[in-house]
Chains A and B, each alone.
Chain A
Amino acid sequence: MEELIQILTRTLVYAIAMITFGFFNAMIMGYLERKIAAKIQRRPGPMEVGPYGILQLVVDGVKLVSKQIVIPRDADGVLFRIAPLLSFAPVVLPFIVVPFSKSLQARDFNLGLLFIVTIASINVLTIVVAGWGSNNKYSLFGAMRSVAQNISFEVPVLLSILCIAMMTGTYSMQGIVEAQDGIWFVFLQPVAFIIYFVAGLAETNRNPFDLPEAESELTAGYHTEYAGFAFSLFMIAEYANMFLVSSIATVLFLGGWHGIPLPFFEYTGALWFLAKVYILMVIMVWIRWTFPRVRFDQLLNFSWKYLIPFSLANLLLTVILIKLIPLVKEMI
């Protein structure tokens, strides 16, 4: 009985903390995105609400919550209502295994990496559910594009993750971070890192791969029909997905919570982790406001002609080196 209570409390604390973090992350990233976009376009960005407009996203949130959610007459009511909630599952669940620091981790199980990859692919499903349930051609097209895109980009993501898994011999997130005590894997596997990052951009449907929500062609893609809080759930999920992709990149390639030791490093390592993640996310925003959207054939060509062959070659090279290096060492 006591154990049950303990498990329930842990789950509750985790769920509340993660959902709060999801919202908070969306607020920070929303603000950063608008400010960086403004700076790149040489505008000041939001300036009216609070000093330097830092409360702008709070006001936007209040506005979105207070809006009515209009359900189109011919939409599939159940699917339409489920989709935004479903988009929240891949936000909350993968953070179970994300190692914020040595001790700040909900659960470290030995298939952590696979768990994240699996849960994160629910995201595509929610987009399809939203697109189908809306009964709108724009939404459906956005959803279809998203599926095609994710199918072709999941392969290079997995292949580059596999390189790291082979090098460390574990799928546990904490194990991978600890394996980078000496040197970060980005220096050993730069190609895998670039491939992962590019494919991760496509996975999160960010520019320049944001075909599922291409404004100029599909109004807003799969969330065309959504308003108010349902829409903001999609936005929060998008930013949380960005966070997730960046945090996997940090764990796999950038040494996770490793950094200059701080007092109470078991917990304060999270500062290094968050700093690395947010730098990657800022780079994503930077990329978004630099490049135009790719065409659909360019998108698929890029994946099948460049990312997949390169990640396969990289995988092969990794395998050979993993086998070869111990032999060479033995000979010496």
Chain B
Amino acid sequence: MSGYFSDLYTGAKSLLSGMAVTFKAFMAPTVTVHYPREKIDVTPNIRGPLTLIKDPETGTHRCISCNRCAMECPSSCIDLKGEKQEGVKGKVLVKYVYDYTTCSLCGNCVDVCPVTALDFSSEYELASVSKEDFYFDLLKEVQETP
């Protein structure tokens, strides 16, 4: 019998304080982001698929076709080709195909690049039903982006 009324009192009090907690949560703004319509900023450190950096001075990429990234790559997912062209000093990049399906985003290519031509993008909305969509043509990409 001892504690009969004190149990009732503490029980009722804790029930009411529980309801106050949920009421506060009910009035508080929602924290869920409505993804397709609302997006939050991603960290700049995100390792998205590779891109060739567009140099703001020249308006094009900085790649010198040295092939170091392709050699460094542990999964050989970079396929690039440079050509000697007349009147131009050094090699000109004519092909830079990057196979995202095998890339492990280790970052060796970005580190090894002598001219900092490569970087990770912050793209994260990648989904496709076909494998071919993940063979990115980075050269075309850098030429087409405004």
* Cβ contact within 8 Å between B32 and A290: no
Q: Does A306 contact B (CB under 8 A)?
A: yes
Q: Does B28 contact A (CB under 8 A)?
A: yes
| Closest chain B CB from A198 CB (angstroms) | 10
How many residues on A have C-beta within 8 angstroms of the other chain's C-beta atoms? 16
- Which of A42-50, A101-109, A128-136, A265-273 lies at the interface with chain B? A42-50
| Closest chain A CB from B32 CB (angstroms) | 5
Q: A286-B19, A287-B19, A291-B18 are in contact. Are A40 and B34 (CB under 8 A)?
A: no
Q: Does B31 contact A (CB under 8 A)?
A: yes
* Cβ contact within 8 Å between B22 and A286: yes
What's the Cα separation between A287 and B18 when bound, in Å? 9
Q: A42-B32, A43-B32, A306-B8 are in contact. Are A291 and B15 (CB under 8 A)?
A: yes
Output the nearest chain B residue to A39 by Cβ-Cβ distance. Answer: B26
* Cβ contact within 8 Å between A40 and B25: yes
| Chain B residues with CB under 8 A of A41 | 25
How many residues on B have C-beta within 8 angstroms of the other chain's C-beta atoms? 16
| Closest chain B CB from A239 CB (angstroms) | 20
* Cβ contact within 8 Å between B19 and A42: no
| Chain B residues with CB under 8 A of A290 | 18-19, 21-22
User: Which of A36, A44, A286, A289 is within 8 Å of B30, CB to CB?
Assistant: A44
B interface secondary structure, majority: helix
Task: Tell me which residues from 3 to 55 in chain A have a Cβ below 8 Å from any Cβ of chain B.
Answer: 36, 38-44, 47
| Chain A residues with CB under 8 A of B4 | 305
What's the Cα separation between A43 and B21 when bound, in Å? 16
| Chain A residues with CB under 8 A of B15 | 291
What's the Cα separation between A148 and B34 when bound, in Å? 44
| Chain A residues with CB under 8 A of B28 | 42
What's the Cα separation between A264 and B90 when bound, in Å? 92
User: Which of B8, B26, B31 is within 8 Å of A40, CB to CB?
Assistant: B26
Q: A290-B18, A291-B15, A306-B8 are in contact. Are A47 and B23 (CB under 8 A)?
A: no
What's the Cα separation between A129 and B28 when bound, in Å? 43
User: Which of B8, B23, B31, B32 is within 8 Å of A286, CB to CB?
Assistant: B23
| Closest chain B CB from A232 CB (angstroms) | 27
What's the Cα separation between A43 and B32 when bound, in Å? 5
| Closest chain B CB from A260 CB (angstroms) | 26
* Cβ contact within 8 Å between A42 and B25: yes
User: Which of A36, A44, A47, A306 is within 8 Å of B26, CB to CB?
Assistant: A36
| Chain A residues with CB under 8 A of B8 | 306
What's the Cα separation between A27 and B28 when bound, in Å? 26
| Closest chain A CB from B12 CB (angstroms) | 9
| Chain A residues with CB under 8 A of B34 | 44, 47
Q: Interface 1/0s, chain A 287-307, versus B by CB < 8 A? A: 101110000000000000110
| Closest chain A CB from B119 CB (angstroms) | 35
* Cβ contact within 8 Å between A289 and B22: yes
* Cβ contact within 8 Å between B31 and A42: yes
| Closest chain A CB from B146 CB (angstroms) | 34
Output the nearest chain A residue to B33 by Cβ-Cβ distance. Answer: A44
User: Which of B18, B19, B21, B30 is within 8 Å of A39, CB to CB?
Assistant: B30
Give 14 CB contacts A-B under 8 Å: A38-B30, A39-B26, A40-B22, A42-B28, A42-B30, A42-B32, A43-B30, A43-B31, A44-B32, A290-B19, A290-B21, A291-B15, A291-B18, A305-B4
